[in-house]
Amino acid sequence: MKAQRKSKQVMISTICLGAVTLWSGLAHSQMPTDIKSYAQACMNELTENGSKPITFPPVLQCADGPILPITQDSVAIPAQTSADGSMFTDTTKCDRPPLLDISSGGIGQCVPNSRLRVTQVPQTSVEAKDKPYYALLCRNYQYRSLDSQALNPEYDDVAMIVYSPLNHKTCFFQRLANTQIRDLPQEKSAFAAIEALPGKDIPSPFSSNADTFWDNPDVVKRINCARCHDANPFVRSPYAFQVTKDANKLPNRTFGEAYAIFHLDQFGAEWKKYHAYFKIEDHSYGTPGACLNCHNLGPGFSSGDFTEYSAGKLAPGQLDSTTFTLTHWMPPGANKDTWETRFRASVKAMLACNADPAKDNCKRVDLH
């Protein structure tokens, strides 16, 4: 019997002053080498050559985003004071760890007090549902108490994704306190390594002083955002879903919906090999395409590690919970009695496609 469910993407696995002016001084085929040129060219795409101006806030505040909880058995581990730091070590386990490897901070995956803000911004002559979204993720890789953050908000990694539902253009921005925390050479950065990044009064990447904070596009290229963001602009995970359910909600997307990475040609083949989705037609329970009834899964992590983590394999740092819906978090509210017969074949098929995306039965569709 074919599953009778809506084909709407849900969780998977889990980022200028006044009206923006048109900028067209860079040939489309060229790779911007500095953040200002990159951001201006991105804005040109988002505004469709300036015909639909966007207004971004001039500065961004990490504190405007809710805290991403670190929980054990669904209860938040205290992280208010410096003394609470003893609760967080490289052996600490939690229910919903971040999927990105942040263990270089020395205390594993269950690091508290990161923040994620998702919001829409005004755009002229565009319906409310199509106005651009930005996700600002301020990550801690090491322990920082809420008390210390209140006095001096600092982070190890600040990332931002800007996405337009109108034309599906997506731009990635990044700043790392020290690029070596992501195994990148510091000399490729526009900045020297520092102990921490300020989380207060961050200039918008579209502002005139963006180059005082945001790194150059070559760093973004080397990070290769498409490995995680392969078939979708946003990664949806139990970690992120804790704070993206209501007012901080990510946009809904349908199966196979367009997703255009800004300057993908210049980011190159290493990005393009992930920028796709698998189009297995039959989405019935028990078939290889069952997971695709709700998800766009591509040849990057979405059909690999993230699929495994959603289907019983513990993510790094994850608590081996006796609660089935914490270890098998897809679909939401999974039924232990029916899960294996309904979804295991699809999980196996997705992992096989991840290992060999060119297989005929995977039906890879490029998004570029």
Give 12's pLDDT tier (boundaries 50, 70, 90): very low
Nearest residue to 12 via CA among 296, 250, 245, 289:
296
- Tell me 77's DSSP state: P
pTM for the complete prediction? 0.91
Distance CA 30, CA 255 (A): 32
Q: Dump pLDDT digits (tens) for 246-276.
A: 889 999 999 999 999 999 999 999 999 999 9
Judged against a pLDDT cut of 60, whether residue 92 lies above it is answered with yes
Judged against a pLDDT cut of 60, whether residue 13 lies above it is answered with no
What integer pLDDT is reported at residue 333 of this predicted model? 94
What integer pLDDT is reported at residue 219 of this predicted model? 96
Burial-class residue 130 by CB neighbours within 10 Å (0-12, 13-18, 19+). middle
What integer pLDDT is reported at residue 245 of this predicted model? 85
Distance CA 111, CA 294 (A): 30
Q: Dump pLDDT digits (tens) for 205-232.
A: 999 999 999 999 999 999 999 999 999 9
What integer pLDDT is reported at residue 31 of this predicted model? 72
Q: Under the phi-then-psi rule, with left for phi > 0, alpha for psi from -120 to 50, and beta for the rest, what region is 99? A: alpha
Place of tokens 């080498």: 33
Candidate from 15-19, 38-42, 143-147 with smallest mean pLDDT: 15-19
Judged against a pLDDT cut of 80, whether residue 359 lies above it is answered with yes
Concatenate the DSSP letters of all residues of 300-348 into one string: TGGGTHHHHHHTTPPPTTB---S-HHHHS-SSTT--TTTHHHHHHHHHH
Judged against a pLDDT cut of 70, whether residue 241 lies above it is answered with yes
Judged against a pLDDT cut of 70, whether residue 357 lies above it is answered with yes
What integer pLDDT is reported at residue 181 of this predicted model? 93
Q: Dump pLDDT digits (tens) for 38-72.
A: 999 999 999 999 999 999 999 999 999 999 999 99
What is the average per-residue pLDDT within 320-324?
95
Tokens at 350, concatenated: 């997705």
What integer pLDDT is reported at residue 30 of this predicted model? 72
Tokens at 84, concatenated: 């609470």
Q: Dump pLDDT digits (tens) for 113-122.
A: 999 999 999 9
Percent of the chain with pLDDT over 70: 92
What is the average per-residue pLDDT within 290-307?
97
What integer pLDDT is reported at residue 29 of this predicted model? 55
- Integer angstrom CA distances of residue 252 from 244, 278, 282, 295: 11, 19, 22, 11
Average pLDDT, the chain: 92
Give 168's pLDDT tier (boundaries 50, 70, 90): very high
What is the average per-residue pLDDT within 17-36?
56
